[in-house]
């Protein structure tokens, strides 16, 4: 490592971050996980209030850090974790809006692939369109962990969108028609960063609202109630 703090976005010193990082979007959700699940916790980052913690879960050293909203934000933090801090696996744990009739609020989705309307992959100058995908070993372990805990999960294609407020009123119907389960805003960039770094990534999502039924969780419920998703992620960390 070239410097004790090789990035202006992360105040962690060398060795302060575990090989596996759980990454919620909300830094307060990272703090919640550290407070409620980890022991011997240290805070390794407070820069921009993007809180990061390292501790122990069932004898395993694990870190948890916020990733922010959108692909530019998670793109920066995950790139730096992979390339500057020696992180091998990032498991995003986030919320999503349901598309499919097969998912409902509080369901857990394992994003095996991440369709996107983002131009994030253009930087790689590929002679075609890449399909951002999760690491299969993490997918396999997450599904096995969920079964062990008797937690039902849906596995499938998700949408990583650059737009939360879209001017295209027909977009959701088009994605739903193609079998996309839900929409979030970060996984595609995470999966692409992992592929480029030859590292591992997975996105686990809890359906916080459904775009077709109108069901929704409150902001407080989103921050503190995603226990099953958190426990699956911690179980495979």
* Active-site residue (options: 40, 102, 107, 209): 209
DSSP string of the chain? --SSS-BTTB-PPTT-S-SEEEE-SSHHHHHHHHHHH-EEEEEEE-GGG--EEEEEETTEEEEEE---SSHHHHHHHHHHHHHHS---EEEEEEEEEE-STT--TT-EEEEEEEEES--GGGGG--SS----B--HHHHHHHHHHHHHTT--EEEEEEEE-S-SS-S-TTHHHHHHHTT--EEESSHHHHHHHHHHHT-EEEEEEEEEEETTT--B--HHHHHH--HHHHHHHHHH-
209 is catalytic: yes
The residues annotated as belonging to the active site are 209
């Amino acid at each position: 490592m070239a410097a004790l703090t090789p990035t202006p976005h992360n105040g962690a010193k060398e060795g302060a971050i575990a090989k596996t990082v759980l990454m919620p979007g909300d830094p307060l959700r990272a703090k919640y996980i550290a407070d409620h699940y980890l022991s011997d916790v240290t805070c390794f980052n407070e820069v921009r209030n993007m809180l990061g913690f390292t501790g122990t879960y069932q004898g395993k050293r694990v870190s948890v850090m916020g990733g922010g909203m959108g692909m530019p934000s998670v793109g920066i933090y995950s790139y730096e974790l992979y390339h500057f801090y020696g992180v091998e696996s990032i498991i995003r744990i986030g919320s999503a809006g349901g598309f499919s009739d097969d998912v409902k609020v509080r369901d857990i989705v394992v994003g095996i692939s991440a369709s996107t309307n983002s131009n994030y992959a253009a930087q790689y100058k590929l002679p075609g369109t890449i399909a951002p995908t999760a690491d299969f070993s993490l997918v396999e372990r997450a599904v096995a962990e969920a079964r062990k805990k008797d937690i039902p999960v849906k596995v499938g294609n998700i949408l990583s969108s650059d737009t939360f407020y879209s001017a295209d009123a027909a977009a959701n119907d088009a994605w739903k028609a193609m079998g996309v389960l839900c929409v979030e805003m970060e996984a595609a960039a995470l999966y692409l960063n992992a592929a480029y770094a030859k590292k591992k990534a997975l996105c686990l999502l809890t359906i916080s609202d459904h775009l077709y039924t109108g069901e929704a969780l409150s902001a407080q419920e989103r921050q503190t109630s995603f226990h099953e998703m958190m426990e699956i992620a911690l179980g495979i960390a």
